[in-house]
Structure 1
Amino acid sequence: MQLYKQLIAGALVAGLVGFSAWASAGDSGYYPDYGESYDLARVTSVTPVYTDVQVRTPRTECWDQQVAYQQPTSPAGAVIGGLIGAAIGNKAGGHGRHYRRHHRGASTVAGAAVGALVGSQISRANAPVQYVTEQRCQVVDDFTTRRELIGYDVRYRYNGRDYLTRTDQHPGDKIRVRVDVSPAF
């Protein structure tokens, strides 16, 4: 029976100590959490913090433009120029004493090539030009600036001292703070 009374008295004392600790915390909201202690502090001001973000928006810009096209030419100018150049080259290669036949053949070929080139250029220069309206397009970037909320600068007061922190969410009237108690030596 004596042991029974001691157990009841011990339980009663433990209950009173627990109730006393709970009651002494009162309205402050002080509570232990996983080996760390937390409390609630009064928020004195909340200021939203923004950043400017540049946004790129590509768009297609088009316009009409006049374009000149030359009609295709017939090979007749090159052929006629080649024949005339060959004849001139043949005559030019015929003068001289040594290697007449060899010079005459080379001159004829060179004259034909130059004549064909000149005849083709003359034919192309005289070809009719046709103008056509074509649509041209290019991608251009438009830039705009947009403000984005990145958080809140929160000023709060705890135990007579003022503090500042940044949070992702608006904290409301109270903010949870970690309390660190260490022995004074």
Structure 2
Amino acid sequence: MSKSIVIGSTLAVLGLGGLAFGAYQIQATNSAPQYAEIINVERITDTVETPHEVCDNVAVTRQRPSKDPNRIAGTAVGAIVGGVLGNQVGGGSGKKIATAAGAVAGGFAGREVQGRMQQGDTYTTTEQRCRTVTDTQEQFKGYDVEYRIDGKVFDARLDEAPKGERVPLVDGKPQWQAAGEASKSSS
């Protein structure tokens, strides 16, 4: 064979191969998107409330129980003292009236004095008082990611936020889905 035929044939084969390779590259590039565009990323948390009981020891002042709740002793002593003092006033039948009036007034005064003394008879003790308190805590749930592939909008819940504005596609799905993350269409 002649040298020019060999060179021409070789160049023709190489040219056709190059042309075929270029056409393949154009077709592969235009056939499917290479990236998913991130539209929105939102951190998701839940508020968890945990009630529990808190108890404190509190000093409480109480009134002692009365041994004479009707205050008979104070009334009797007051009536005797009032009667003795009333007897010192006046003479004759006026003395009897003054004694009776002194006894009544003394009885009333004795009753009131005993009541005040009983109110002042107190003691202090410690009591436990409890109340319910609610602790509030934010619990991380993940990231809701909204993304677009070829004009369609999808969303996914991820453990980590994607980095950047685009995510590479693997077999037509965002790269995080290669590990089995679920997504749903919301277009």
What TM-score range do you get, normalising by the shorter chain? 0.3 to 0.5
More strand by share: 1
User: Structure 2 length normalisation: TM-score?
Assistant: 0.44
User: Structure 1 length normalisation: TM-score?
Assistant: 0.44
